[in-house]
Amino acid sequence: MSREKYWTADPAELLRVGDGFELAKTGTRASPGFDGDKAAGQEALAEGAEVLAELQEQLFAMSRMGDERRVLLVLQAMDTAGKGGIVKHVMGSVDPQGVQLAAFKKPTPEELQHDFLWRVHKQVPGAGMIGVFDRSHYEDVLIGRVREFASPEEIERRYEAINEFEAELTATGTTIIKVMLHISRDEQKARLTERLARSDKHWKFNPGDVDERLLWDDYAAAYQLVFERTATPDAPWFVVPADRKWYARLAVQHLLIDALEGMDLDWPKADYDVAEQQARLAAS
């Protein structure tokens, strides 16, 4: 595939959080494994779009014949890092019928009456789907920790609960890909500044974005802990440099394609007699 010609190494290997990972020492502007510029990246993204769409359709087709497998992409990031752009430009190339998107905002009073995984469990994608979590149960150990919405003991308990929840999903056919889009403090400032400078972007800005920004280092520490406690072989974390939007999109697309290619998909065999149905149809 020509889109592969630019990749000098598998981004899944380069971006996966492993032992000794340190967020503070991880770049936000590099393009690990991709030996090309923005134009090459956009070309590779367009080619990958067709590959991803066909793989998803095969996953969906197999689910119609009883295959229970599905993919779950978890997206976490600081504001403006580009979660929405991933949904629009990577998932947007997949048939909407094969994508199950869930955005987790501030919990409602009803949601707060339940354990923190209650609302998340309900949004696990169906068989044959690619589910996308725009924020997730990780908010409960990120803003939950930074803003002290829960006690330290409860936060500790939650890491375990998350690992058990994800192990259960994995055991029942879900391939989990957890992505943190990693931008720099300066890049966020530039992006928020642009939102304030353009009247067609004002609706995307919220004064609370600046409040969270002022806690940047606390969030970085909370993410570091998340990686240490919840990066597991079955549900790995990938930290994707995201100052350059084109690279982040391409890398996430590649992670999805990798995951689907590893599932040994194919068009399912008919579970009816084709010749018999052809005869019935001809006579109809």
Q: How many CA atoms lie within 13 A of 7 on its CB side?
A: 21
Q: Comparing C-alpha atoms, which of 12, 69, 7 is closest to residue 233?
A: 12
CB of 191 to a second copy, least distance (A): 10
Give the type of residue at 69.
R
Cβ proximity to a second copy: between 62 and 71 the closer is: 62
Is 119 a binding residue for a second copy by CB under 8 A? The answer is no
Between CA 83 and CA 242 the distance in angstroms is: 10
* Binding of a second copy by 277 (CB under 8 A): yes
CA–CA distance, 62 with 33 (Å, rounded to integer): 32
The residue assigned the tokens 């501030």 is 106
* Residue entry with tokens 């090309």: 36
Is residue 172 near a second copy by the rule CB under 8 A? no
Q: Is residue 108 near a second copy by the rule CB under 8 A?
A: no
Radius of gyration of the chain (CA): 20
* Closest alpha carbon to 231 in 6, 9, 1, 22: 22
Among 95, 148, 217, 261, interactor with a second copy by CB under 8 A: 95
Residue 155 in the binding site for a second copy (CB under 8 A): no
Q: Give the nearest distance from C-beta 217 to a second copy in angstroms.
A: 12
Cα distances from 158 to residues 140, 170, 195, in angstroms, run: 8, 18, 35
Least distance to a second copy, CB of residue 106, Å: 14
Scanning residues 1 to 30, which ones bind a second copy (CB under 8 A)? none
DSSP letter, residue 26 = S
User: CB count, 10 Å around CB of 135?
Assistant: 18
- Of 99, 142, 181, 259, the residue at the interface with a second copy (CB under 8 A) is 99
Q: Is 272 exposed, middle or buried (0-12, 13-18, 19+ CB in 10 A)?
A: exposed
Pick left, alpha or beta for residue 135 (phi over 0 → left; psi -120 to 50 → alpha; otherwise beta).
left
Q: How far is the CB of 205 from a second copy (least distance, A)?
A: 7
Give the total of residues touching a second copy (CB under 8 A): 43
88 forms part of the interface with a second copy (CB under 8 A): yes
Regarding beta strands 70-77 and 174-182, do their DSSP bridges make them parallel or antiparallel, or are they unpaired?
A: parallel
Nearer to a second copy, 108 or 203 (CB): 203
The residues in 189-248 that bind a second copy, with binding defined as CB under 8 A, are 189, 192-193, 196, 199-200, 202-207, 210, 213-214
Binder of a second copy out of 103, 167, 220, 225 (CB under 8 A): 103
Which CB atom, from 215 or from 225, has the smaller least distance to a second copy?
Answer: 215
Residues in contact with a second copy by CB under 8 A are 61-62, 64-65, 84, 87-88, 91-92, 95-97, 99, 101, 103, 134, 189, 192-193, 196, 199-200, 202-207, 210, 213-214, 267-270, 272, 274, 277-278, 280-282, 284
